[in-house]
């Protein structure tokens, strides 16, 4: 039953990671796109490890989850301008482009104004849209994404620890479910 619950939790984590990936693609934020891609792969491997009783995959998921928590804390600090970080830097786009969060212009309740001047198009990095006001500013939406990822990672981490306790290991590094016979006995 606990394996079933951990699988449901990992599936929910996967769905939220896919949602986050879509919005990072819309904003051309290349660092989050790569990190989200690795996260999706690690969640799938963790799910496989839990279903197939493969401890290495579950442990890999557990270690990745610690890195994932660190990443989400970093992104939150970036959008809150903490620790010398600034949301105006192009860290998340890896300096490749001047793109920013998709939510900056498309957030809930955002009113934008298209700039009619043809002179703007001749600029090196034209900003053709000016956002006048939003119901919820984009940095808070990004921080909410991070908080959601942190909240869904916690039960995933706990279930993975429970599915893969240290006393279930044999010398090969695999673990076996109490209802499954051990390969060492045969």
- For the chain, the structural domain boundaries read 1-82+141-172
In contact, 60 and 74? CB cutoff 8 Å: no
Distance CA 146, CA 50 (A): 25
Residue in 119, 95, 92 with CA at minimum distance from that of residue 103: 92
In contact, 160 and 6? CB cutoff 8 Å: yes
> How confident is the model at residue 61, as a pLDDT?
92
Find all residues with CB under 8 Å of 58, minimum gap 6, and list them: 46, 49, 50, 160, 163, 164, 175
Low-confidence stretches of the chain (pLDDT beneath 50): 119-120, 126, 128-129, 169, 171, 182-186
In contact, 93 and 28? CB cutoff 8 Å: yes
> How confident is the model at residue 122, as a pLDDT?
53
First vs last C-alpha separation in the chain: 27
> How confident is the model at residue 104, as a pLDDT?
79
> How confident is the model at residue 66, as a pLDDT?
95
In contact, 141 and 107? CB cutoff 8 Å: yes
Beta-strand ranges (E) seen in the chain are: 111-114, 129-133
> How confident is the model at residue 106, as a pLDDT?
78
56-93 core/surface letters (b: 16 or more CB in 10 A; e: else): ebbbbbbebbeebbebbebbbbbbeeeeebebeebebb
> How confident is the model at residue 74, as a pLDDT?
94
Beta-strand ranges (E) seen in 2-159 are: 111-114, 129-133
Distance CA 157, CA 60 (A): 11
> Residue 83: phi, psi to the nearest 5?
65, 35
> How confident is the model at residue 78, as a pLDDT?
92
């Amino acid at each position: 039953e606990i394996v079933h619950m951990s699988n449901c939790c990992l599936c929910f984590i996967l769905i939220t990671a896919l949602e986050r990936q879509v919005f990072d693609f819309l904003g051309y934020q290349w660092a989050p796109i790569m990190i989200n891609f690795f996260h999706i792969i690690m969640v799938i491997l963790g799910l496989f490890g839990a279903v197939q009783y493969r401890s290495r995959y579950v442990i890999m998921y557990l270690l990745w989850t610690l890195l994932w928590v660190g990443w989400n804390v970093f992104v939150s600090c970036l959008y809150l301008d903490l620790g010398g970080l600034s949301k105006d830097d192009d860290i998340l786009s890896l300096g490749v482009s001047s793109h920013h969060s998709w939510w900056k212009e498309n957030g809930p309740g955002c009113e934008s104004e298209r700039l009619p001047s043809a002179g703007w198009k001749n600029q090196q990095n034209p900003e053709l849209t000016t956002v006048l006001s939003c119901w919820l500013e984009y940095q808070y939406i990004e921080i909410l994404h991070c908080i959601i990822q942190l909240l869904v990672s916690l039960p995933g981490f706990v279930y993975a620890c429970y599915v893969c306790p240290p006393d279930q290991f044999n010398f090969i590094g695999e673990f076996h479910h109490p209802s499954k016979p051990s390969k060492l006995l045969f």
